[in-house]
Amino acid sequence: MKYWRTPLDLDRVKIPRGTVHIIIERCKGCSFCIEYCPKDVLAFSEDYNRKGYHYPKVLETGLCVNCNLCEMICPDFAIFSLPEPDPADSVDAPQAAAAIEGAVESAQRSTAGSSAN
């Protein structure tokens, strides 16, 4: 966005960043997340899940502003966004990133185990 004047607090404003995670086997290909993403981060994958639907994929990492619209609009809870830790704010950023990745893997394992039953 181009401003016609420069905001006074422009140097203090931080753009939030997030990482989009998709639980592929839950997706039914409704495309709500793709349509409502304000930054056009998502697009349909050419692959199919086990149900036979095209699921969304992340086009480019780092563009997500962690607005959580995809998470709110998804009827099957197949997509979520987690905030990326800001390295300037935290010394423990690698530990926080490892904890987030562990939580994501745990969620995907529990989903895969429940769908196998």
pLDDT at 53: 95
pLDDT at 88: 67
Q: What is the mean pLDDT of the chain?
A: 85
- Is pLDDT of 73 > 90? yes
Residue 100 lies in a domain: yes
Residue 2 lies in a domain: no
Residue 35 lies in a domain: yes
Residue 90 lies in a domain: yes
Number of folded domains that form the chain: 1
Nearest residue to 64 (alpha-carbon basis) of 45, 49, 52, 79: 79
Question: CA–CA separation, 107 vs 90, rounded Å?
Answer: 25
Residue 89 lies in a domain: yes
- Predicted TM-score (pTM) of the model is 0.68
Residue 28 lies in a domain: yes
For residue range 89-103, list pLDDT tens digits in order. 655 556 666 777 777
The residues that bridge with 103 in the sheet, in sequence order, are: none
CATH code at 57? Answer: 3.30.70.20
Residue 83 lies in a domain: yes
What range does the domain containing 29 cover?
A: 18-116
Of 10-19, 26-35, 55-64, 108-117, where does mean pLDDT reach its minimum? 108-117
pLDDT at 63: 92
Residue 82 lies in a domain: yes
- Is pLDDT of 33 > 90? yes
